[in-house]
């Protein structure tokens, strides 16, 4: 009997050590953070600030010099910096845990046209990858499906939750579509020429998309029999209540995508990737179409592009009046999502001001994802989703977070990585 008890105790302790951090409880007492430099996320900076929040909402934003009663727990943050929680757009956090384990991979569904597929219900709130986002200030993310021509719907979550129901802060806000390329390359492994060449199937691939949405539009205007769930899932696109995120690059492709969707009556559009968007900026601005850029730490797509194209593109598009956000799609995208602020910092090192670079992952991403009315900046009435950093949060040398809150909840910054770091730091201190 004792052996059984000891075994159960052993596995209980091991399970607790390896388990995800327990989500924080609902805020019950007010907080007042004073003395820090506050970066509001909308371009405004307040030196020696005072930020107060209660019941999950920000109640005061201003100067600490103002004679106003502090509420609840007072945090002295003199010499530190306060930021709104960073938002990772176009991410697959919580959809894949281990790339090599197929059973943990739920980022795509079988089929080509899947507007009815919901990424949210596949979201694993207890992913160890998710907990590693918080120590860098990444507190929210757009959970995005992959694959097919129409991948499904994305939702926005906060990254400290028991389950997907608790995590969701905006459900099914967008449908994602992969627009075809007008160029193709040969399969080198079959001895074909790997060079790019015009794809003769491009018009046919585009017409397939147009036909699908046209059929959906006819179905929605009719008696809806027999019931077609994929078609019904497109209703909010035509009503303008849901955004269509078009994953596309190339001047011709972006132009075709915007033009054809507008003809169909789908007007709430977002371009994802957007290589070449700088050359058709008037089209984007006139149609109020924002762009979610890829991470800058990559090679240019074309040998004709400038060597620093991927670093300067955010500045280029911003100067042309386009609303720009930053997404995470790419190699090892889930693990690399924790580096979101440092990618924004790279854009800051190549033309953007620090506050404009910050907007890419706060205000701009919030506006593009449709959550700016309650988060994304430090303003009275918005969610108290914010953090305190020792220094510049866009610089990996000084992004040292000491406190973080999601909707006013004082969240844990401990992860399996910090546990190992402390373990081995203590080992070498002992010597």
Identify the pLDDT of residue 12. Answer: 39
Identify the pLDDT of residue 20. Answer: 64
Q: Are residues 110 and 78 in the same domain?
A: no
Name the band, by pLDDT with cuts 50, 70 and 90, for residue 430.
low
19 pLDDT exceeds 90? Answer: no
**In 152-180, which positions are buried (b, 16+ CB within 10 angstroms) versus exposed (e)?**
bbbbbbbbbbeebeebbbbebbbbbbbbb
8 Å CB contact between 72 and 48: no
Share of the chain above pLDDT 90, in %: 84
Q: Are residues 127 and 50 in the same domain?
A: no
Q: Which residues contact 311 (CB under 8 A, 6 or more apart)?
A: 296, 346, 347, 349, 350
Say if 382 falls within a structural domain. yes
8 Å CB contact between 51 and 64: no
Identify the pLDDT of residue 52. Answer: 98
Predicted confidence (pLDDT) per residue in 285-316, tens digit: 999 999 999 999 998 988 888 999 999 999 99
In this prediction the pTM is: 0.92
**In 40-77, which positions are buried (b, 16+ CB within 10 angstroms) versus exposed (e)?**
bbbeeebeebbbbbbebebbbbeebeeeeebeeeebeb
102 pLDDT exceeds 60? Answer: yes
The domain spanning residue 76 has which CATH number?
A: 2.30.40.10
Identify the pLDDT of residue 347. Answer: 98
Share of the chain above pLDDT 70, in %: 95
DSSP label at residue 271: E
> Is the bond leading into 156 cis (omega within 30 degrees of zero)?
no
Identify the pLDDT of residue 419. Answer: 87
| Cα pseudo-dihedral 50, 55, 56, 60, rounded to 10 | -20
pLDDT, averaged across the chain: 93
Q: Are residues 58 and 177 in the same domain?
A: no
**Pairing relationship of beta strands 269-273 and 243-248 according to DSSP bridges:** parallel
Q: Per the structure block, which two tokens stand in for 346?
A: 């790279």
Identify the pLDDT of residue 18. Answer: 53
Structural domain count, the chain: 2
The domain spanning residue 202 has which CATH number?
A: 3.20.20.140
Identify the pLDDT of residue 196. Answer: 85
Rounded Cα–Cα distance for residues 308 and 317 (Å): 14
255 pLDDT exceeds 50? Answer: yes
Q: Are residues 58 and 151 in the same domain?
A: no
Identify the pLDDT of residue 367. Answer: 98
**What is the number of other CB atoms lying within 10 angstroms of the CB of residue 185?**
13
Collapsing DSSP to helix, strand or coil, 192 comes out as coil
Of residues 148 and 194, the one with the higher pLDDT is: 148
Domain with 47 in it: 22-85+377-413
Rounded Cα–Cα distance for residues 57 and 31 (Å): 10
Q: Are residues 103 and 212 in the same domain?
A: yes
Q: Are residues 80 and 188 in the same domain?
A: no
Say if 142 falls within a structural domain. yes
Say if 422 falls within a structural domain. no
Identify the pLDDT of residue 7. Answer: 46
Q: Are residues 228 and 308 in the same domain?
A: yes
13 pLDDT exceeds 50? Answer: no
31 pLDDT exceeds 60? Answer: yes
Q: Per the structure block, which two tokens stand in for 219?
A: 């179905």
Say if 8 falls within a structural domain. no
Tell me which of 103-107, 118-122, 140-144, 231-235 is least confident.
Answer: 103-107
Say if 209 falls within a structural domain. yes
Identify the pLDDT of residue 219. Answer: 97
Say if 79 falls within a structural domain. yes
Q: Are residues 73 and 178 in the same domain?
A: no
Name the band, by pLDDT with cuts 50, 70 and 90, for residue 167.
very high
14 pLDDT exceeds 80? Answer: no
Q: Are residues 327 and 254 in the same domain?
A: yes
Q: Are residues 338 and 268 in the same domain?
A: yes
Q: Per the structure block, which two tokens stand in for 294?
A: 């890829």
């Amino acid at each position: 009997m004792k052996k059984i008890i000891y075994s159960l105790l052993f596995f209980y302790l091991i399970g607790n050590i390896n388990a995800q951090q327990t989500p924080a409880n609902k805020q019950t007492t007010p907080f007042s953070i004073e003395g820090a430099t506050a970066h509001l996320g909308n371009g405004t900076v307040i030196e020696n600030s005072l930020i107060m929040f209660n019941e999950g909402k920000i109640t005061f934003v201003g100067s600490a010099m103002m004679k106003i009663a502090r509420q609840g727990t007072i945090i002295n943050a003199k010499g530190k910096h306060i930021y709104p929680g960073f938002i990772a757009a176009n991410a697959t956090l919580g959809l894949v845990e281990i790339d090599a384990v197929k059973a943990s991979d739920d980022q795509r569904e079988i089929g080509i046209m899947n507007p009815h597929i919901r990424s949210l219900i596949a979201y694993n709130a207890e992913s160890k990858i998710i907990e590693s986002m918080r120590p860098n200030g990444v507190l929210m993310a757009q959970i995005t499906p992959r694959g097919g021509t129409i991948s499904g719907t994305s939702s926005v979550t906060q990254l400290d939750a028991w389950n997907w129901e608790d995590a969701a802060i905006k459900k099914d806000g967008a449908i994602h579509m992969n627009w075809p390329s007008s160029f193709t390359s040969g399969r080198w492994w079959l001895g074909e020429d790997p060079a790019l060449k015009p794809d003769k199937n491009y018009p046919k691939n585009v017409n397939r998309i147009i036909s699908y949405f046209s059929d959906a539009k006819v179905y929605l205007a009719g008696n809806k029999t027999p019931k077609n769930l994929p078609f019904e899932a497109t209703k909010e696109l035509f009503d303008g209540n849901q955004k269509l995120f078009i994953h596309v690059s190339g001047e011709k492709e972006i132009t075709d995508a915007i033009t054809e969707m507008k003809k169909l009556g789908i007007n709430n559009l977002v371009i994802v990737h957007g290589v070449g968007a700088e050359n058709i900026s008037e089209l984007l601005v006139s149609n109020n179409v924002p762009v979610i850029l890829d991470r800058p730490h990559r090679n240019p797509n074309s040998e004709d592009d400038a060597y620093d194209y991927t670093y300067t593109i955010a500045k280029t598009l911003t100067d042309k009046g386009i609303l720009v956000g930053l997404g995470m799609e790419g190699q090892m995208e889930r693990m690399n999502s924790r580096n979101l602020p440092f990618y924004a910092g790279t854009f800051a090192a190549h033309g953007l001001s620090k506050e404009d670079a910050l907007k890419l992952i706060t205000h701009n991403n919030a506006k593009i994802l449709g959550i700016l009315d309650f988060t994304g900046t430090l303003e009275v009435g918005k969610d108290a989703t914010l953090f305190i950093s020792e220094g510049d949060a866009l610089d990996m040398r000084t992004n040292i977070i000491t406190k973080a809150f999601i909707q006013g909840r004082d969240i844990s910054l401990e992860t399996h990585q910090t546990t190992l770091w402390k373990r081995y730091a203590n080992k070498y201190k002992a010597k």
